[in-house]
Amino acid sequence: MKKLLSVVLLGVALSSALVGWLLSSPRPLYARDDWRAYEEGGDAERGRLVFLVGGCPSCHMTPGQPDPLRLGGGYRLKTPFGSFFPPNISPDERDGIGDWKVVDLANALLAGVSPEGTHYYPALPYTSYRRMTLSDVRDLMAYLRTLSKVSGRAPQHRLAFPFSIRRAVGLWKLIYLGPPGLPPDPSRSETWNRGRYLVEGPGHCAECHSPRDMFGGIIASRRFAGGVTPDGKGKAPNLTQAAKGFAEWSKEDVETALSLGLTPSGDSLGGDMAAEVRNLKQLPEADLQAMAEYIKSLPPIP
């Protein structure tokens, strides 16, 4: 009887492991073998705007030096799960992404899957980037390829068990990763739709400005209702129309905050937002207006 029980338990354990293994499989959006189909046609100038709204330098620029276009990685991002070290994304062939194809960048940003077929941790906010168009990814790659090669690799992440089990991210993705892309809402204006794309996609604003649950996923019902910075030390304010003070801002006030970093009282945004403003202010005025329109439309969540 005992022997039978042991066998049954072993069977259950093995099947669960197999099911877990299968469920957590990395699912790239594009087959690497098809890379030639996606490689050509990227526009580096348009890619620069994707780079700026995407905020790539904030995590990937080499720390301890002022040039945001030196993307050697290695900045220490401390989180409740341990420390992440964003990798080198310069066009260096050995230490960066110099040997990547467009399809590799697409799978990384839109599916959180590496060229080797492993999961990226969602410290890379592919939960937002997933909404980006392939065209924007292709342009971004064209721009990234114009930047300086930086040698040296970032350290490995230092994560506490069980977060160190990379494969488990596959299960996390089943819960927290929505469908790719962002179909426009035909009942809304082109400007609003453009703003929504920029804010929810490459802008990834919700990643800081939303509260998260114990697994590090955004609490969907409280999206944009305010959050903390990854290191837990700073607050990213509520951006919905229930936010005290912020709800009274006009669209122009929001645009001024993004283009000059100034609030209606003349205060200058600091903390982690100061760096974002330095990027966002370089976007076309129409894009900032669109983002402001979308942000002002966020339904109230206290």
Partner 1 sequence: MKRTLFVTAMVMFGATAVLAQSDAIAQRRALMKENGKAAQAIAAMLKGAPFDLATVQASLKTFVNAAQKAPALFPDDSKTGGDTHALPAIWENKADFNAHFAKLGDDATAALATIKDAASLKATMANFFDDCGSCHQTYRAKLN
The least distance separating partner 1 from the CB of residue 251, rounded to whole angstroms, comes to 11
Min separation Cβ 238 and partner 1, Å: 11
264 binds partner 1 (CB under 8 A): yes
**Half-sphere exposure for 32 (CA within 13 Å, toward CB):** 12
Binding flag, residue 57, partner 1 (CB under 8 A): no
| Residue 286 within binding range of partner 1, rule CB under 8 A | no
Distance CA 165, CA 118 (A): 11
From candidates 64, 162, 179, 266, binder to partner 1 by CB under 8 A: 266
Going by C-beta distance under 8 Å and a sequence separation of 6 or more, which residues neighbour residue 31? 103
Q: Is 133 in the site for partner 1 (CB under 8 A)?
A: no
Min dist CB 163 to partner 1, Å, is 26
Q: Say how many C-beta atoms besides its own lie within 10 A of residue 140's C-beta.
A: 28
Q: Which of 280, 264, 271, 189 is nearest to 236 (CA)?
A: 271
Quick note: the x/- pattern for partner 1 over 225-254, rule CB under 8 A, is ----x---xxx-x--------------x--
CA 202, distance to chain mean position in Å, is 7
Q: Is 302 in the site for partner 1 (CB under 8 A)?
A: no
Is 284 near partner 1 (CB under 8 A)? no
Among 9, 267, 300, 302, the residue binding partner 1 under the rule CB under 8 A is: 267
Among 63, 270, 300, 302, binds partner 1 (CB under 8 A): 270
Q: Is 137:102 a contact under the CB 8 Å cutoff? A: yes
Give min distance, CB of 230 to partner 1, in A. 13
Asked whether the beta carbons of 185 and 284 are under 8 A apart, the reply is no
Q: Which residue has the tokens 């990234």?
A: 144
Total residues contacting partner 1 by CB under 8 A comes to 24
Instruction: Choose the binding region for partner 1 from 42-50, 68-76, 98-106, 271-279 (rule: CB under 8 A).
Output: 271-279
Q: Can you tell me the distance from the alpha carbon of 79 to that of 77, in angstroms, rounded to the nearest whole number?
A: 6
Q: Are 133 and 110 in contact (CB under 8 A)?
A: no
How far is it, in rounded angstroms, from Cα 174 to Cα 25? 10
In the complex, which residues of this chain contact partner 1 (CB under 8 A)? 229, 233-235, 237, 252, 256, 260-262, 264-272, 274-275, 277-278, 281
